[in-house]
Amino acid sequence: MMFGDLPLLSITIAIPAVTALLLAFVKPTDRAALRAIALGGTIFTFIFSLNLISETDASAGFQLTETIEWIPEWGVSYSLGVDGISLFLVILTSFIFPLVILASWEQVERAKGFFVSLMTLQSALIGVFLGLDLLLFYVFFEIMLVPMYALIGVWGGKNRRYASIKFFLYTLVGGLLMLIAILYLSFKAGGSFDYTTLLQTDLSRTEQIWLFWAFFVAFAIKLPLFPLHTWLPDAHTEAPTVGSVVLAAVMLKIGGYGFLRFNLPLFPEAADLYAGPILALGVIGVLYGAMVAMVQSDVKRLVAYSSVAHLGFIAIGIFALQPTAASGAVVQMVNHGLTTGCLFLLIGFMYDRTHSRAIADYSGLMKATPIFGGLFLMAVMSSIALPGLNGFVGEFPILIGTYQTVPWAGVTAAFGVILAALYLLWAYQRMFHGPVGGHAETMTDLNAREIAVVAPLLVLMLVIGLYPKPLYDRVTPSVEAVLQQVDADLAAAQNATVSDSE
């Protein structure tokens, strides 16, 4: 190992936290220093996080684990680990934030609090994906609410207070339900919050059902899954551009991650029992999100509802309980982060120039701003899962795997791909084609900084679309291990039922 005994995971979490602390000592008026420190911290975090790829392999278990007693009287430890499910979500988190800092380079209003909030949020998000003690996981899960609440509530649009409070209350209620379930699990495990210990905890079918739903609500809100999605369009619409990017690219992925990390392996009988209804909710979310997106007049709100649809695919892939579909769901989490993050950035650049997101206010943008139009088109094509781009290599395995186990869900969800092409291409046609009119007459094209922000996202869309093997090589073994454990637990439960009946 290149880094010997260095706690790589702790350092990855600590770099943005330390950066936030450094920013706290900078004068609020020294905007140049604030953004330079923030950018430096995020770049360092990203470069350092890349070592997680070289320092781990494609095996299924947790690697680079760190465990230190934290509150031994309560059975709480500071326990971290990474596997194929969490690896690229950590990399995605560290990759997005330097681009977010560059995108907000001209931030003037309360710049100090703005950058401190972003760095605190990054640290908490990385911690969520690495925490293996459930109480530690819950701490990170709740910490991230505060900076995101601030980003929406302080730097958001005219209805920011309503949107931020709605976001906070939804997530807080879900988190409190999960906390109750975590405490009960710990009681059943003899006072331990350790993930591997809780996996071995003997739970009755009734206990599994109640605990499953407590965790499920928390993660379904975060994903968000229909009908718990209503906070998302408001949050996206009112959040500043960087808030929408972080929310779409990283924070929403906690829902899918939680389903796969906690709901399936901790409560296998309940997961198997309710997989069908949850698949139905996922399919409804795909179709509902697409149809509502089709009638939106605000392009940012359109993309927000498209997220409801695309994230429905992730829920379908996970609860199909099939390795191909579940692996595709994890890869699609990364893909959705890149694509939707790019769309929100481009919409933000447009809004900075014209202060309008109304589709009807634009015509002929491709002629007026060809660079902006071309980059936006590529992001749209990725979002509608065009073969050769990253969206296809995530959604197609989900549909194929789901069809193998639950044909009706795979076939019905496929209509969501068709609807995505309709609402996105129709919006693109209205805004970018035709004679130059509306705000397009005065809008300037992207500058070098803005192109530099979105270019890495677009490059990854193409690279992953053409060669997704490195992602699947790491993701698939860990996903298969989870599903094999679920199958083994189900078989053991059935055998125990048979023995009892005899």
Each of the 502 residues of the chain gets a pLDDT tens digit; together they read 445 577 999 999 999 999 999 999 999 888 899 999 999 999 999 999 999 999 999 887 899 999 998 888 888 999 999 999 999 999 999 999 999 999 988 876 888 999 999 999 999 999 999 999 999 999 999 999 999 999 999 998 888 899 999 999 999 999 999 999 999 999 998 889 999 999 988 888 999 999 999 999 999 999 899 888 889 888 988 889 999 999 999 999 999 999 999 999 999 999 999 999 999 999 999 999 999 999 999 999 999 999 899 999 999 999 999 999 999 999 999 999 999 999 999 999 999 999 999 999 999 999 999 999 999 999 999 999 999 999 999 999 999 999 999 999 999 999 998 999 999 999 999 999 999 999 999 999 999 999 999 999 999 999 999 999 999 999 999 999 999 999 888 888 777 766 655 5
- For the chain, which residues make up each domain, given as ranges? 267-492
Q: Are 69 and 211 in contact (CB under 8 A)?
A: no
Q: Are 296 and 305 in contact (CB under 8 A)?
A: yes
Q: Are 348 and 104 in contact (CB under 8 A)?
A: no
Q: Are 440 and 369 in contact (CB under 8 A)?
A: yes
State how far the alpha carbon of 142 is from the alpha carbons of 148, 149, 178, 251, in Å: 11, 11, 11, 12
DSSP characters for 23-71? HHTS-TT-HHHHHHHHHHHHHHHHHHHTHHHHT--S-SS-EEEEEEEEE
Q: Are 96 and 454 in contact (CB under 8 A)?
A: no
**Amino acid at residue number 398:** I
State how far the alpha carbon of 429 is from the alpha carbons of 118, 298, 415, in Å: 35, 15, 21
Q: Are 295 and 409 in contact (CB under 8 A)?
A: no
Neighbours of 429 (CB within 10 A): 10
State how far the alpha carbon of 19 is from the alpha carbons of 23, 106, 110, 131, 151, in Å: 6, 19, 17, 21, 18
Q: Are 398 and 333 in contact (CB under 8 A)?
A: no
Identify the pLDDT of residue 82: 96
The DSSP call for residue 389 is: S
Identify the pLDDT of residue 1: 41
Which pairing describes strands 437-438 and 362-363: parallel, antiparallel, or unpaired?
antiparallel
Q: Are 401 and 275 in contact (CB under 8 A)?
A: no
**Per the omega criterion (within 30 degrees of 0), is the bond before 265 cis?**
no
Alpha-carbon span 74 to 318, nearest angstrom: 33
Q: Are 307 and 252 in contact (CB under 8 A)?
A: yes
Neighbours of 501 (CB within 10 A): 6
Residues with Cβ within 8 Å of 368's Cβ and at least 6 positions away in sequence, in order, are 436, 440, 441, 443, 445
State how far the alpha carbon of 439 is from the alpha carbons of 44, 84, 106, 356, 387, in Å: 39, 46, 22, 8, 33
Using the Cα atoms of residue 485, residue 334, residue 337 and residue 288 in order, give the sign of their dihedral: negative
The DSSP call for residue 78 is: E
Token reading at 228 = 């718990």
**Per the omega criterion (within 30 degrees of 0), is the bond before 268 cis?**
no
